[in-house]
Amino acid sequence: MTRLSLVLRTQAAIAAGKVVRAASRLRGGGSALPGLVAEKVDPQLLAATIGRLPDGVVVVSGTNGKTTTTKMLVAIVREHGKAVFTNPTGSNFTRGVISAMLAEIGPNGRLTADLAILELDEAHALRFAKVVPPTHSLLLNVARDQLDRFAEIDHTARLLTSLAEQTSTGVVLNRDDSFVSRIQTHVQPGATVRWFGVDPSIADRLPELQEADVRFSDEQELPAAGPSDGLLKPLDDREFLVTFADGEDVGPVTLQQRGLAAMINATAATSMARMLLGEAFRPALATAALARVTPPFGRGEVIDVEGQPLELVLVKNPAGFTVALGTYGSTPVATMIAINDNYADGQDVSWLYDVSFESLRERGVALTSGVRAYDMALRLRYDDVVTDAVVPDLEQALDTFLADHWAEPKRIFCTYTAMMRLRRVLAARYDLPDFGEEATA
């Protein structure tokens, strides 16, 4: 195919995608369909656009924390004056990336950005890498995720390893996760490897974040932290430092999101930003950017409902739910749990039996909701947690929850599609910012 033919095919793909995107928006919703149509017209569309950005392509992947870490990394890099393209809605499929891109790309097929920073699920990152090999990868962690989607830990680790093998310039790895740290031996010759992790003084707190079969055993030795590797040193539940052995520390930073998990995400983002920016990296700019980052919707987002806070907390696997309970569950508030089993949630919810709900015993749970409302109530019963009501319909459950607990703080733990539905209802009622064109996969 001639150069002209390639250009014409790319332009046709963009035009087709934009038409579908406009039609989708007229119907009142976002969709990954525009990206799917554009990709069908030109399977090399990503290579012709994102693949040509001057400062490269960064992929953020792992089981937990992708959305938050990506948002933090984008904020830091933009604070340093770089133009960044990202998939802000957390669409983890190539067609979702293309759909996000269609809003920013001109008819000539050029994307006005210095680099791309993309959140991608482990499996879909590999499909993306076949078209656009990333220059940089930030690999966060490996935990047992939705059983019917990405299987067990070893399989997820292999997916991340394959991604690292296709990364050309630099990889940042979690030194505290043995499944991630061992990827070091698979990085391309000439590619730089750096680490992020926690300061040894808080290593005993890692069980809050990782399942026992993910952590380093006593026989395994942590990789040595070098001068350019970021280590987390918390000061309280929101404030922390990211320390570097060469003295270029970031912070103190006060996040708008609570908990050790959010701080680790910020440490990962800071470490990757320093690799990307090199000598241009400025700790003060990173500190300012992190302090302004608001939680992505559902990741500890706090909504004002008639003068009382309502927290939405996304849960999707045992490690994530355990972290959420440890981070948000200690303060006694009215609690609702909404569990769906749609594809994006994971249709096998047996993982709920790997989570301890004992921290909810004292106050109990006001109600459970979603497709698996009764299953959730039964699971709570095994941990002697009282459930006051079971209301499968999400909007009806929300109405009941808000009416019965209007005068006190409230919290909803919810799986992905349940969170999306509840967030849309709340946005319509309380004039919340729209969260854009979410992934519909």
- The phi and psi torsions of 325 (rounded to 5 degrees) equal -65, -40
DSSP conformational letter for 120: -
- The amino acid occupying position 292 is R
Cα–Cα nearest to 308, from 400, 409, 385:
409
Residue 414's CB: how many other CB atoms inside 10 A? 26
46 near 17, Cβ under 8 Å? no
348 is catalytic: yes
Nearest Cα neighbor of 316 from 296, 342, 294 is 342
The pair phi, psi for residue 366, each rounded to 5°, is -65, -45
Q: Which of 148, 348, 384, 434 is flagged as catalytic? A: 348
- Both tokens of 402, joined, read 């808000």
Residue 81 has a CB neighbour count (10 Å cut-off) of 10
Token pair, residue 211, equals: 């399942």
Kindly report each contact of residues 76-79 with a partner whose C-beta sits within 8 Å and lies 24 or more positions away, as own/partner: 76/269, 76/270, 76/273, 76/285, 76/286, 76/289, 76/290, 77/115, 77/117, 77/273, 77/276, 77/277, 78/289, 79/285, 79/286, 79/288, 79/289
Instruction: Give me the active site residues, please.
Output: 348
